[in-house]
């Protein structure tokens, strides 16, 4: 009888700890997904603002040190991110197939590095979404491409929310298409080719 009481107490305590952990982890995931949606809608708003911007655009961000600090950080991390994806993908593979092969080969070191870079980029992408960057449409387009690729990586590394990140990737792709059309219609600007980073991301 005593053993039963002790065992029941231990199981109750374990269940309480597990439930608390599950609740905390669940809240953390909800916050993360909520932040991802807020980030996307912030960029959607920036594209809308660019659509209706007066001409010429006032380039106030040229003196915004916070903007340039985030821009430099994201470009530096993006180079490492792109290089890693290039190394992951074999010549006859897609990026997604290359990431899946890391799981099959149990390559934990590269998987962890890829996850760390993706998380850091997502945070910076979010920070930039809180800035007014519609007056830098070329850089905004670069962010769209980068957000697609980070969403792709999250889709591959997070099976539980793979559908969410798949939809997020598609939404960023459509948003990039909207911005591309607006850039092509800009009468005072020549058609701009993609930056080297964009070409490397989408190749």
- Please provide the DSSP assignment of 23-90 as one string: HHHHHHHHHHHHHHHHHHHHHHHHHHHHHT--SSPP-GGGG-HHHHHHHHHHHHHHHHHHHHHHHHS-
Q: Which helix (H) or strand (E) holds 19?
A: helix 2-51
Counted domains in the chain = 1
What are the helix (H) ranges across 130-161? 137-157
Q: How far apart (Å, rounded) are the C-alpha atoms in residues 45 and 37?
A: 12
* pLDDT tens, position by position, 127-155: 999 888 888 899 999 999 999 999 999 99
Say what the pTM is. Answer: 0.76
Q: Which helix (H) or strand (E) holds 2?
A: helix 2-51
Domain limits at 39? 2-202
Kindly give the interhelix angle for 95-104 and 108-129, rounded to the nearest 10 degrees: 140
Torsion of the alpha carbons at 83, 87, 90 and 93, rounded to the nearest 10: -50
* pLDDT tens, position by position, 58-115: 444 445 677 788 889 999 999 999 999 988 887 788 888 888 888 888 888 999 999 9
């Amino acid at each position: 009888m005593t053993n039963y009481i002790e065992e029941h107490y231990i199981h109750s305590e374990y269940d309480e700890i597990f439930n608390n952990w599950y609740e905390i982890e669940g809240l953390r995931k909800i916050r993360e997904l909520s932040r991802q949606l807020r980030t996307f809608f912030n960029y959607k708003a920036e594209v809308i603002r660019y659509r209706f911007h007066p001409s010429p655009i006032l380039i106030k961000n040229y003196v915004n040190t916070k903007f340039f600090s985030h821009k430099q950080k994201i470009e530096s991390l993006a180079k490492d991110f792109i290089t890693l994806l290039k190394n992951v993908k074999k010549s006859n593979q897609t990026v997604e197939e290359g990431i899946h092969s890391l799981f099959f080969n149990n390559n934990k070191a590269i998987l962890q590095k890829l996850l760390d870079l993706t998380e850091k980029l997502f945070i910076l992408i979010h920070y930039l979404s809180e800035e007014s960057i519609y007056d830098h449409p070329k850089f905004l387009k670069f962010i769209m491409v980068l957000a697609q690729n980070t969403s792709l990586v999250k889709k591959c590394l997070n099976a539980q929310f793979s559908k969410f990140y798949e939809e997020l990737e598609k939404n960023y792709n459509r948003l990039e298409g909207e911005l591309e059309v607006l850039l092509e219609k800009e009468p005072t600007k020549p058609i701009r080719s993609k930056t080297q980073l964009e070409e490397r991301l989408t190749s």
